[in-house]
Structure 1
Amino acid sequence: MRGVTIHEAGGPITVQDKEVRAAGPGEIRLRVGAAAVNPIDTLMWRTFAPAGPQSSLTPGMDAAGTVESIGPDVDRLSVGDAVMAAINARLPEGGAQAELVVVPACSVVPIPDGLAPTAASALPMNGLTALEGLRLLDLPPGATLAVTGGAGQLASYAIPLAKRQGLVVIADAKPEDAALVAGFGADHVVSRGGGFGADVRRLVPEGVDAVFDTAQLTRAALPAVRDGGGIAVVRGWDDGDDPERGVRVLPVRVTTALPNTDWLELISTEAAAGRLVPRIAGTYPPERAQEAYERMDSGGLRGRLVITF
């Protein structure tokens, strides 16, 4: 069974044969057709440090394919079902970028109607990240939310999910992406760049209730937030002190959301309705994974790259 394999930080990305155990209680074994490459995967590649018996790593947190076999106590899925899955790549068995993976059944749902596996593979992890960030911010209907990195994949899910919760959404974009971001459901689109806080304050003089910082602006996004507001961050905070003015920093850890079947079903429903639209920037066989990782690592993509088996 082929699997994309990392042996050292920033080193060559190879394909190796891997043994895959049988599905245990509450698990399914998934035959992967497509596995998305996300920024978290390139971060794992750049920072991987072998520890104990885990001398290599198969990355990937998103997969789509078919149920190959099921373990005891699984009655919601059947062999042959077309499904998508959210996978914790930091577990000893590794992640999604392999031909066969074992996944808790709670982290697996049917592929949305009308969606190809390649597209479906880019839904679970980013959709769960968006929902977890919104949960942490805990904003009531009518509250104002600013989203950085408005044209990115994560923001393209966070914006419509925020609108579903009744929030007023301001997002940033380059001029050429403004119509795209408005199409995600943003009520207002401001220019991307160093004037984000000032632009948001021109629309909401007292500051927004919260920022969902998908672009990792961290402190540069703080001027947009009102006193006592919140900022959800996807790659942690910087090494400095906590923000002033009572602004709460809320780190988004998607691993806590991976077993949330209800959220995965919501993501599937929203995608089937066309409100969440995965964008695929290219597909690669596993033997070209290094090329995919280098392209993702260079930034600027409007969508995800996908490893196909």
Structure 2
Amino acid sequence: MRAMTYDTYGGVEVLSETRIPVPKVGPGEVLVRVRCASVNPVDWKIMAGGLDGLMDVVYPVVPGWDVAGTVEYVGIDTPEFTAGDEVVAYARKDYVHGGTFAEFVTVPVRALAPKPASLTWQQAAGLPLAGLTAYQLLTRLDTGKEDTVLVHGAAGGVGSLGVQIARALGARVIGTASARNHDRLRELGCEPVEYGDGLAERVRALAPDGVTVVADFVGGVLDTTRAVLAEGGRHASIADHTVLGAGGQWMWVRPVGADLAELGRLADAGQLTVTVAKTFPLAELAAAFDLSREGHTAGKIVLEV
């Protein structure tokens, strides 16, 4: 099968399009024919060695953790799915090796969910990692109808989904973003505030009694979080472990198919959509990584396989 691979840590220069065997399908797994796969910053950070102390690597590596495609073949004891099913997954494994930037990928059943019918293949591919990150953080903080939520990084891939999920959970949402993204956030039901000096005061102007939940998707904002969090409020970060010393939670997303199915339900109910910023063919993964590294895209970067 065609796949993008690398044999050593580095930048985009280590990537190449190669042909490798179709992976074996173990018990409790399915083989997915990839239609689309989305790029996340973690993909090129791993390639650069950024998670070397955390996860084992087996070369050659096929990067990529997000996938939307069809079930090609089911392994032993997989009654949940059959060949031809349209599925999505956050296909992270326990070590770095066989990812989604290829024609086929194996996925444990526990990570799979039906593809939301209301989303295109490109949108569906952009949902798993970012959507699960936002959903799991907000639900772990017991976000609900009585809450006012501050989302740090509300216009980003994770943040924009977090805004929509918090709204679906019934919360009022305030989100930090640059001015050029404010109209888009208002369309999602968010009250936008500008980054930069005076941020805490601007949030307090909207929520004089403080916010009850803070979702940090960018890092480096703990002082602001402390300044605007109401007494008894809850907060968590995906990017700053120092929140642990300030009564917060530090989270790493888990590949949970049931959570992903709930995101699909929200999408099909009209409460959640995925913005696709740009698509690339598989062979142009290097260009997709370069765009991701710039950090300015308002939406997901997707590979069409």
Query: TM-score, normalization: structure 2?
Result: 0.90
Determine whether 1:43 maps to 2:45. Answer: yes
Give the structure 2 partner of residue 281 of structure 1.
277
- Asked if the contact 1:196–1:224 (Cα under 8 Å) also holds between the matched residues in 2, the reply is no
After superposition, the Cα gap between the structure-2 partners of 1:42 and 1:193, relative to the gap in structure 1 and judged at 3 Å, is farther
1:53 Cα deviation after fit? 6.6
1:70 Cα deviation after fit? 0.4
1:144 Cα deviation after fit? 1.7
- Asked if the contact 2:118–2:267 (Cα under 8 Å) also holds between the matched residues in 1, the reply is no
Q: How does 1:134-149 map to 2 (within 5 A)?
A: 134-149=138-153
- Asked if the contact 2:63–2:97 (Cα under 8 Å) also holds between the matched residues in 1, the reply is no
Determine whether 1:117 maps to 2:121. Answer: yes
After superposition, the Cα gap between the structure-2 partners of 1:139 and 1:17, relative to the gap in structure 1 and judged at 3 Å, is same
Determine whether 1:252 maps to 2:256. Answer: no
- Asked if the contact 1:136–1:250 (Cα under 8 Å) also holds between the matched residues in 2, the reply is no
After superposition, the Cα gap between the structure-2 partners of 1:297 and 1:104, relative to the gap in structure 1 and judged at 3 Å, is same
Give the structure 1 partner of residue 267 of structure 2.
271
1:19 Cα deviation after fit? 2.6
- Asked if the contact 1:156–1:276 (Cα under 8 Å) also holds between the matched residues in 2, the reply is no
- Asked if the contact 1:281–1:304 (Cα under 8 Å) also holds between the matched residues in 2, the reply is yes
2:268 partner amino acid: A
1:58 partner amino acid: V
Counterpart Cα distance in 2 of 1:261 and 1:23 = 18
After superposition, the Cα gap between the structure-2 partners of 1:285 and 1:182, relative to the gap in structure 1 and judged at 3 Å, is same
1:92 Cα deviation after fit? 4.5
**For 1:173-222, what per-residue CA distance to the aligned partner results, in whole angstroms no more than 9, with x for missing partners?**
33332221122122x22223232222111222332122111122332432
1:8 Cα deviation after fit? 1.0
Partner SS, residue 61 of structure 2: coil
The structure 2 residue matched to 1:167, chosen from 156, 164, 171, is 171
Counterpart Cα distance in 1 of 2:142 and 2:80 = 30
Counterpart Cα distance in 1 of 2:74 and 2:160 = 33
1:5 partner amino acid: T
After superposition, the Cα gap between the structure-2 partners of 1:14 and 1:175, relative to the gap in structure 1 and judged at 3 Å, is same
Moved over 6 A (4+): 50-53
RMSD (Å), alpha carbons = 2.3
Partner SS, residue 277 of structure 1: coil
After superposition, the Cα gap between the structure-2 partners of 1:89 and 1:43, relative to the gap in structure 1 and judged at 3 Å, is farther
**For 1:32-73, what per-residue CA distance to the aligned partner results, in whole angstroms no more than 9, with x for missing partners?**
111100122122123254987713422212101111100122
Counterpart Cα distance in 2 of 1:183 and 1:64 = 26
Give the structure 2 partner of residue 207 of structure 1.
210
Unaligned runs of 5+ in 2: none
Query: TM-score, normalization: structure 1?
Result: 0.88
Counterpart Cα distance in 1 of 2:202 and 2:72 = 51
Give the structure 1 partner of residue 17 of structure 2.
15
Counterpart Cα distance in 1 of 2:176 and 2:294 = 21
1:4 Cα deviation after fit? 1.9
